[in-house]
Amino acid sequence: MTLMFRSAYAASVQAEHAQTSASNASSTANAALSKMEMMQADLERLMMITEAMWLIIKENNLVSDDELVAKIREVDLRDGRLDGRVAKQNNPECPGCKRTVIGKHPVCLYCGAVVDRDPFAR
Ligand SMILES: [Zn+2]
């Protein structure tokens, strides 16, 4: 009888742990979904701003659609592949200590020198 009780107790503890794990996974999934929706809204807003800026440039006869398309292709082909993606650039060298600066830090982690980066670097 005691053995049966222990077994039932162990099963209920396992079930509780499983429920807690499922609840945590659900919370994590909801947080990821929320973050993705915020990023999607940011992307949509950036697309709208880009289009508005393009229309201003175009309406002022500064650049034609064909020139824009050609420039997009030129940027795409920087890595030799027409794949709709901008190639990643190598990490820059620190102007102070000449070490490779890893990540997106604005200053060198070794010597503290300010590292100027390409504003469009990925
Ligand atoms: Zn440095």
pLDDT in tens, 58-94: 999 999 999 999 999 999 999 999 999 988 888 889 9
For ligand 1, the distance from its centroid to the CA atom of residue 120, given in whole angstroms, is: 22
Q: Provide the residue range defining the domain that includes 96.
A: 89-122
Q: Are residues 31 and 67 in the same domain?
A: yes
* Confidence label for 4 from pLDDT (cuts 50, 70 and 90): low
For ligand 1, the distance from its centroid to the CA atom of residue 53, given in whole angstroms, is: 37
User: Quick count: other Cβ atoms within 10 Å of Cβ 108?
Assistant: 20
81: alpha, beta or left? (left if phi > 0; alpha if psi -120 to 50):
beta
For residue 91, count CB atoms less than 10 angstroms from its CB and return exposed for 0-12, middle for 13-18, buried for 19 or more.
middle
Instruction: Taking the CA atoms of 88, 91, 93 and 98 in sequence, report the sign of the dihedral they define.
Output: negative
Q: Are residues 21 and 54 in the same domain?
A: yes
For ligand 1, the distance from its centroid to the CA atom of residue 101, given in whole angstroms, is: 7
For ligand 1, the distance from its centroid to the CA atom of residue 95, given in whole angstroms, is: 7
Count of domains forming the chain: 2
For ligand 1, the distance from its centroid to the CA atom of residue 107, given in whole angstroms, is: 8
Paired residues of 114 in beta bridges? 107
**Stronger pLDDT, 22 or 75, i.e. the higher one:** 75
For ligand 1, the distance from its centroid to the CA atom of residue 61, given in whole angstroms, is: 45
Amino acid identity of 47? M
Q: Are residues 71 and 23 in the same domain?
A: yes
